Amino acid sequence: MGSTTPDPPHRPAAPRASSADEESWQWVLEGEAPVVQNIGLYASDGTASGDLTMIIAPEQSALKAREQFEAQRDFVRRAAEDGQRIDAVERDVLRRLLSLGHTLLGGFVAAQGDGDLGPEAEAPGGRVVRRLPERHDRRYVSTFGQLTGARVAYGTREGQRIERVPLDERLGLPEGDFS
């Protein structure tokens, strides 16, 4: 995966995906801005929110974010040239910024890897648990929209209680789906 900048000393290093994991570890980004009551629905390709589903890797996220930023800059320039009203420009700028935030957050999460610590890991209380054979999906709804991804989980066996999910720990995800 190339060189990485070390984490600050107060944080454990992020689990990194192996080359095999890079092919299967992807976050699915769904929807766009959740503040529909104030700004409406927006998707940069013209689809309605909820119709937009993308699989995105960190590098793809960076490219998409750059395109979104350039489109935002061009929109503001055109709006000024066209003499648009500030309230209309403000709504569109906010929608586009939320979409950009969604893209960047998805790239951040994808860059964290899948949480694989190896075949075994220590659970709370010191007990050793095994990596479960199937990845487990997790939905997270942020200020910017919904993210869904599969990550490695540890426990005694599939169908039983999951005892550790290192990626969730690393990200500090809440118990529920919402930030």
Specify if 65 maps to a domain.
yes
**What pLDDT sits at residue 121?**
98
Whole-structure pTM value: 0.69
**What pLDDT sits at residue 56?**
62
Place of tokens 């040239």: 81
Q: Tokens representing 116?
A: 């694989």
Q: Give the single-character DSSP code of 168.
A: H
Q: Which 3-state string (H, E, C) describes 95-156?
A: HHHHHHHHHHHHHHHHHCCCCCCCCEEECCCCCEEEECCCCEEEEEEECCEEEEEEECCEEC
**What pLDDT sits at residue 178?**
93
Q: In what order do the strands lie in the sheet with 154-155?
A: 120-122, 128-131, 154-155, 162-164
Specify if 42 maps to a domain.
yes
- CA dist., res. 111 & res. 91, Å (int): 30
- CA dist., res. 139 & res. 158, Å (int): 19
Nearest Cα neighbor of 163 from 122, 135, 134 is 122
Specify if 105 maps to a domain.
yes
**Tens-binned pLDDT, residue by residue, of the chain (179 aa):** 444 444 433 333 344 444 333 333 344 444 433 333 223 333 333 333 333 334 468 889 999 999 999 999 999 999 999 999 999 999 999 999 999 999 999 999 999 999 999 999 999 999 999 999 999 999 999 999 999 999 999 999 999 999 999 999 999 999 999 98
Specify if 147 maps to a domain.
yes
Q: How many domains does the chain fold into?
A: 1
Determine which helix (DSSP H) or strand (DSSP E) holds 27, and give its type and residue range. Answer: strand 27-30
**What pLDDT sits at residue 120?**
98
Specify if 4 maps to a domain.
no
**What pLDDT sits at residue 58?**
85
Specify if 32 maps to a domain.
yes
**What pLDDT sits at residue 179?**
86
Strand-pair category, 53-56 with 154-155: unpaired
138 strand-pairing partners? 149
Specify if 120 maps to a domain.
yes
**What pLDDT sits at residue 42?**
34
**Range(s) of the domain holding residue 80:** 21-171
Specify if 61 maps to a domain.
yes
